[in-house]
Amino acid sequence: MTKKQLKESCEFLLNKGFEAPELGIVLGTGLEKLVGHISDPITAHYHHIPFFPLATVEFHFGKLVYGTLESKKVVVMQGRFHCYEGYAFSDVTYPIRVMHALGIKKLFISNAAGAVNLDFKKGDLMLIEDHINLQGGSPLAFKNVADFGPRFVDMSEPYDSQMMEKVVEIAFKQHIKLRRGVYAAVIGPQLETKAEYRMLKILGADAVGMSTVPEVIVANQLKLPVLAISVLTDECDPDNLKPIHISDILKVSSETEPKMITLFLEMIKSL
């Protein structure tokens, strides 16, 4: 990754009309309908954007959508990248750098995750307050990282406290149950064993997924405030573990998505 590549990606998007977005949004598995609320959308497919990776997961869309949400200019990733697709951490997080270079001032992230905390239930939303990186690497571990920001990034408060307070207040007013917890990021794509779920619980994780943390690390390098919410799609009880299929995860994501959209729209309105 070079600054020249980043400049070319941004120039392509600026020429399409992606001018001065205020917010970046990353949509997770089964969580794509927020784009239906965007006014005057402009779409750029990933395979047209110079140096962009391609989404290889069949249920992930592969496009950036620019437009207006609640009077704010936004750029939305409809489909994200994962290390389990064979991408390097720098590839997975390249779109965050592009959105930041375009001008975003805040980043919203959603994902689908499994509930490790057994007080949490399938279909709940969880505000990510902290995370555990179990992906075995870092998006900052490359030779010329200093060209893009500091190499050694403080992670004492990776998620923005003001946005977290605001979304908790919004959830209360909207009568939406919003759990709060720690998200553990693993590589995947296989789901966890019973022993691994027990380990995650011991480590202090409330939910587990295969994304988000690399993007959050890069956002912190770029001094970009982050808000992240998980849709809990299954309950990871090692003493009563049932097989889970991706179709089940997508179904729960779709059913829970309206609540997440409400939180995001109300958050955007409040900014």
In the chain, the domains with their CATH numbers are 3-270 (3.40.50.1580)
Mean pLDDT, to the nearest integer, of 11-15?
Answer: 97
Could you read off the pLDDT of 95-121 as tens digits, one per residue? 999 999 999 999 999 999 999 999 999
β-pair partners for 156: none
Lookup: tokens for 192: 């966890």
Cut 0.75: pTM above it: yes
Kindly indicate the confidence band of residue 128, based on its pLDDT and cuts at 50, 70 and 90.
very high
267/271 Cα distance (integer angstroms)? 7
- Which spans in 123-212 are helix H? 161-173, 194-203
Amino acid at 223: K
Position 60 pLDDT exceeds 80:
no
β-pair partners for 209: 185
Kindly indicate the confidence band of residue 28, based on its pLDDT and cuts at 50, 70 and 90.
confident
In Å, how far are 122, 132, 207, 243 from 193, measured between CA atoms?
Answer: 18, 18, 14, 11
Residues 6+ apart with CB under 8 A from 104: 21, 22, 23, 24, 75, 224
Position 56 pLDDT exceeds 70:
no
Mean pLDDT, to the nearest integer, of 48-73?
Answer: 84
249, 188 contact by CB (below 8 A): no
Could you read off the pLDDT of 171-204 as tens digits, one per residue? 999 999 999 999 999 999 999 999 999 999 999 9
Q: What is the pLDDT of residue 247?
A: 87
Q: State percent of the chain over pLDDT 70.
A: 97
Kindly indicate the confidence band of residue 57, based on its pLDDT and cuts at 50, 70 and 90.
low
Q: What is the pLDDT of residue 168?
A: 98
Q: What is the pLDDT of residue 232?
A: 96
Angle between the N-to-C axes of helices 213-221 and 94-102, in degrees from 0 to 180, rounded to the nearest 10 = 40
Q: What is the pLDDT of residue 98?
A: 98
β-pair partners for 231: 112, 125
How do the residues of the chain divide into helix, strand and coil, expressed in percent and rounded to 5?
35, 25, 40
51-55, 130-134, 205-209: which has the minimum mean pLDDT? 51-55
Could you read off the pLDDT of 147-169 as tens digits, one per residue? 999 999 999 999 999 999 999 99
Mean of the per-residue pLDDT values of the chain: 94
Position 30 pLDDT exceeds 80:
no
